[in-house]
Amino acid sequence: MLKGTFPLDKFKDLATPFYYYDVALLKRTLDVVCKESSAFGYHVHYAVKANANPRILSLIASYGLGADCVSGGEIQAALDAGFPARKVVFAGVGKADWEINLGLDKDIFCFNVESKEELRIINELAAQKGKVATVALRVNPNVDAHTHIKITTGRKENKFGINLSMLNEVIDELVKMKNVTLTGLHFHIGSQITDLSTFQNLCIRCNELQDDLENRGVKIENLNFGGGLGIDYYHPNHLEIPAFENYFAVFHKLLKVRPGQQVHFEPGRSIVAQCGSLISRVLYVKEGEVKKFVILDAGFTELIRPAMYDAYHRIENLSSEGAVDTYDVVGPICESSDVFGKEVELNATRRGDFVALRSAGAYGEVMASQYNCRSLPKAYYSDTL
């Protein structure tokens, strides 16, 4: 079986499980992101929620990207990592007062506002500080992302954003407020989108909306299309870097950009997922009546996506070149959902073998928990081992 390249000789003295980051791959990915986005003058803000590891954040910041944050903690982490406040955008359906105040105090670029109620609070808090908050309205465009139901965010029934039918009402109230100013529209329709025609539909909806707003005298300086570009979880060795060229080209081709208008994106998973792997050791190979189980020392406490989303991650036995056998790969957590994969083909597996769960750079480390009183794993990097 084709496997990724890992420094096994350096892994043998490390306590498992741990996260391993291929820094060279991350840099190559960032090179592509910067090249393809700058070809059209687009602005990119990294979605911190995908991976908030301080070293990863600092490296991304060094490439000149902005930060897309969904909590006050993420704002502070981004600033600590070197992202300039003028490139920080703050989204989230439930911003607490202290988080809004932090954004105001740091003079971040923009609040992506998700409701009329939130807009009123931002206006009040900004007034108390004698400031004017810059806001974009997050529009729920009712575009189906054709992705997993738990990561779809742009339909009427989702909690995110302002429904199209309510947008004019919100704008009418906004223009009367003295301590907020409208800078743009924000969209985010879902995550792990691999069918680019979905983004074509988003462009068409945005064009129609802009025409409607201009007819009533509302001009938009910034368009923010969020993130959502998916990765190939099945072939991380062949398709290491997502199709950023095609992704940005869709918007360049179909979006009707007004003179002077700026276009923004907020990729997260597509930047960091493939550079990270969760490395685990085999505790036991258990012979059941109808199947074999590979029991790892990593569980959903270290990578929750399979349990939460029924997500697929490629699993590789790094220690074996033996004949391929079929196993259920599971973790030690006292829950039946602690399963990484069923009927997984692995080279003959024994206790002590190193196993890599691939494409874990996004929503792996950042979603880790201490359930069952487990310790949070360490992270290691290809250029420092």
For each of the domains in the chain, give its residue range(s) and CATH number, in order of start. 8-18+274-381 (2.40.37.10), 23-271 (3.20.20.10)
pLDDT higher than threshold 50 for residue 167: yes
> Which secondary-structure segment (H or E) carries 135?
strand 133-140
DSSP 12-28: TTSPSSEEEE-HHHHHH
Look at residue 234 in the predicted model and tell me its pLDDT. 97
Tokens for 295? 């029991």
* Overall average pLDDT of the 114-140 stretch: 96
> What pLDDT, in 10s, does the model give residues 269-300?
999 999 999 999 999 999 988 999 999 999 99
Look at residue 189 in the predicted model and tell me its pLDDT. 85
Q: What percent of the chain has pLDDT over 70?
A: 95
Look at residue 160 in the predicted model and tell me its pLDDT. 74
* Overall average pLDDT of the 93-103 stretch: 97
The owner of tokens 């300086």 is 221
127 touches 173 (CB < 8 A): no
Q: What percent of the chain has pLDDT over 90?
A: 88
The pLDDT-based confidence of 161 (bands split at 50, 70, 90) is confident
The pLDDT-based confidence of 141 (bands split at 50, 70, 90) is confident
Residue bearing the bigger pLDDT, 335 or 140: 335
Look at residue 151 in the predicted model and tell me its pLDDT. 38
> What pLDDT, in 10s, does the model give residues 210-269?
999 999 899 999 999 999 999 999 999 999 999 999 999 999 999 999 999 999 999 999
User: 134 — phi, psi (to 5°)?
Assistant: -90, 125
> What pLDDT, in 10s, does the model give residues 184-225?
999 998 889 999 988 998 999 999 999 999 998 999 999 999
Residue ranges of the alpha helices (H) in the chain?
Answer: 8-11, 23-38, 54-62, 72-81, 97-106, 116-129, 164-174, 197-215, 244-254, 269-272, 305-309
* Overall average pLDDT of the 133-144 stretch: 86
Burial of 351 (0-12, 13-18, 19+ CB in 10 A): exposed
